[in-house]
């Protein structure tokens, strides 16, 4: 029986685990290792930061949903991978594998900008459950005595969507409370233009986003690189200083330390179209852990976002590739790197679609409307239901 070890219990790891079990049945001995005991629906973290969701609304315990499907669960951190002897190293001992699936997501590189981040720095973040909960507390304190807000991304960021959502959501909430005039908002980004998103824009996203920011009276600074964050002030490399009472910034990402030695200089894993490691043939990777080169060099460095939709596609390709190899059947088609994403905008939302992900493209669009807000809410409920019941084969 093939022993398959999966690292990470989120979009990539869970999809790969459920699909492998469905395809292999008793022929697959599947173990999922995660340093977290629960699945977090990350796209709802900006809502949690706004106080619109509670942790229990967007989390599921991993052990019961995996064990019910005959998948072993180990709640432990992978400390390393020895690719030569095909073993994962953990504090609980070594775990041998025939196939390894890396779905460990990112390590958040706060250390790359002085003063960045909630632990050792002076900014909030909304990329993990703990950070979003902390940001919600900071938001509630801020509301008692509002003032200037600065939000956005530092140089090298790839996950651009959440700061956009957060800026729009704060604007909406402050207007609803009739205190928007007390809280000027500045949006800082390394993108060459607003709506670039690290992928050269989508359709007329530049024009739409410029209009949306203007309509909401949010000041935008593009091509921005941050020199440092000090208490209550952001200092940009061009010498400008932006004072604030609340700052939330997205950090750049790297591969997680346990697998970084298998990756490129930033620790992301190089894979082929079947999600197989380009050097280690029994190692596969899916999601944010995968290396994707930017489509163009921007004046200030930006990275390529890896969305949940792309992650699920990669995880399915990973499962089909491994199952085909075990069964001795033909390898699946290479996964298509395209994107379908819903971006919240407070009172409305935007649908973003690009096929393929990077230009030149066959199709690409960004359009906004209240229908996408409701679609986003419904998608949250649907995805959590799908994960709870292990139904990753559904769209
Ligand atoms: C705030 C925010 C909002 C987003 N909104 C959207 C959206 O609206 N739509 C969309 O499509 N995408 C969105 N994304 C992107 C989406 O969340 C990611 O594409 C998706 O989470 C990637 O899944 P993953 O499995 O690759 O990695 P992750 O979700 O990061 O999961 C990695 C898992 O591996 C575990 N892990 C890490 N290291 C180890 C280790 N050493 N040992 C064991 N376990 C480990 C982690 O605990 C985690 O559970 C958003 C991202 C963020 C941050």
User: Domains plus CATH for the chain?
Assistant: 2-108+253-334 (3.50.50.100), 110-252 (3.50.50.60)
260 prior amide bond cis, ω within 30: no
Q: What is the pLDDT of residue 332?
A: 94
The residue behind tokens 């140089």 is: 155
- Known catalytic membership, residue 275: no
Regarding the beta carbon of 305 and ligand 1, being less than 6 Å apart is answered no
Task: Please give the Cα distance from 88 to 294 (Å, whole number).
Answer: 30
Q: Which of 20, 341, 343, 345 is catalytic?
A: 341
Alpha carbon of 238 to ligand 1 centroid (Å): 33
Regarding the beta carbon of 121 and ligand 1, being less than 6 Å apart is answered no
Alpha carbon of 37 to ligand 1 centroid (Å): 14
Regarding the beta carbon of 42 and ligand 1, being less than 6 Å apart is answered yes
Nearest-atom index, ligand 1, CA of 14: 25
In angstroms, the Cα distances linking 146 to 121, 124, 231, 345, 352 are 21, 16, 16, 21, 32
The residue behind tokens 């989120």 is: 10
Q: Are 16 and 5 in contact (CB under 8 A)?
A: no
Regarding the beta carbon of 5 and ligand 1, being less than 6 Å apart is answered no
Q: What is the pLDDT of residue 295?
A: 84
Q: Are 294 and 339 in contact (CB under 8 A)?
A: no
Q: Are 250 and 109 in contact (CB under 8 A)?
A: no
Q: Which of 78, 102, 159, 291 is catalytic?
A: 159
Average pLDDT, 10 consecutive residues per value, the chain (395 residues): 97 98 96 98 98 98 98 98 98 97 98 98 98 98 98 98 98 98 98 96 95 98 98 98 98 98 98 98 98 92 96 97 96 91 97 93 95 98 97 92
356 prior amide bond cis, ω within 30: yes
Q: Are 269 and 259 in contact (CB under 8 A)?
A: yes
Q: Whose CA is nearest to atom 29 of ligand 1?
A: 10
Pocket test for ligand 1, best of 5, 6, 10 (most atoms within 8 A of CB): 10
Nearest-atom index, ligand 1, CA of 286: 26
Task: Please give the Cα distance from 375 to 293 (Å, whole number).
Answer: 30
Regarding the beta carbon of 31 and ligand 1, being less than 6 Å apart is answered no
Q: Are 348 and 341 in contact (CB under 8 A)?
A: no
DSSP state, 42?
Answer: G
Regarding the beta carbon of 52 and ligand 1, being less than 6 Å apart is answered no
Q: What is the pLDDT of residue 294?
A: 87
What order do you get walking across the sheet with 233-236 strand by strand? 226-230, 233-236, 241-243
DSSP state, 274?
Answer: T
Q: Whose CA is nearest to atom 35 of ligand 1?
A: 8
In angstroms, the Cα distances linking 76 to 15, 95, 133 are 19, 11, 23
In total, the chain counts a number of residues equal to 395
Q: What is the pLDDT of residue 307?
A: 96
Regarding the beta carbon of 126 and ligand 1, being less than 6 Å apart is answered yes
Regarding the beta carbon of 151 and ligand 1, being less than 6 Å apart is answered no
Q: Residue 5: beta bridge partners?
A: 31, 100
The token duo for 83 is 């690719």
């Amino acid at each position: 029986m093939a022993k398959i070890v999966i690292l990470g219990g989120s979009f990539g790891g869970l999809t790969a685990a459920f699909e492998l079990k469905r395809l292999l049945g008793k022929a697959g001995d599947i173990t999922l290792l995660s340093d977290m005991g629960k699945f977090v629906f990350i796209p709802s973290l900006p809502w949690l930061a706004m106080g619109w969701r509670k942790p229990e609304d967007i989390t599921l315990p991993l052990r019961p949903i995996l064990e019910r499907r005959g998948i072993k669960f180990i709640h432990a951190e992978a400390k390393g991978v020895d690719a030569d002897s095909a073993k994962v190293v953990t504090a609980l001992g070594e775990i041998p594998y025939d196939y390894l699936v890396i779905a460990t997501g990112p390590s958040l590189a706060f250390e790359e900008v002085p003063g960045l981040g909630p632990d050792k720095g002076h900014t909030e973040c909304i990329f993990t459950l703990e950070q979003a909960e902390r940001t919600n507390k900071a938001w509630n304190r801020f509301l008692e005595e509002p003032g200037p807000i600065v939000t956005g991304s530092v140089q090298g960021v790839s996950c651009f969507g959440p700061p956009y959502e957060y800026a729009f959501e704060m604007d909406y909430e402050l207007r609803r409370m009739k205190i928007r005039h007390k809280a000027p908002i500045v949006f800082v980004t390394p993108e060459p233009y607003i709506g670039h998103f690290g992928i050269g824009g989508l359709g007329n996203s530049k024009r739409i986003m410029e209009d949306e920011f203007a309509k909401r009276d949010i000041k935008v600074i593009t091509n921005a690189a941050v020199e440092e964050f000090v208490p209550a002030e952001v200092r940009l490399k061009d010498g400008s200083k932006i004072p604030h009472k609340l700052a939330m910034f997205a950090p750049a990402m790297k591969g997680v330390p346990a697998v970084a030695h298998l990756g490129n200089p930033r620790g992301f894993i190089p894979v082929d179209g079947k999600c197989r490691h380009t050097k280690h043939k029994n190692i596969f990777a899916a999601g944010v852990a995968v290396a994707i080169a930017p489509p163009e060099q921007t004046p200030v460095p930006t990275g390529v976002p890896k969305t949940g939709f792309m992650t699920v596609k990669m995880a399915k390709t990973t499962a089909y590739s491994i199952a085909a190899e075990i069964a001795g059947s033909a390898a699946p088609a290479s996964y298509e790197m395209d994107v379908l994403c819903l971006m919240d905008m407070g009172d409305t939302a935007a649908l973003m679609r690009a096929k393929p992900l990077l230009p030149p493209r066959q199709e690409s669009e960004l359009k906004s409307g209240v229908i996408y807000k409701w679609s986003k809410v419904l998608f949250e409920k649907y995805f959590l239901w799908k994960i709870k019941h292990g139904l990753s084969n559904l769209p």
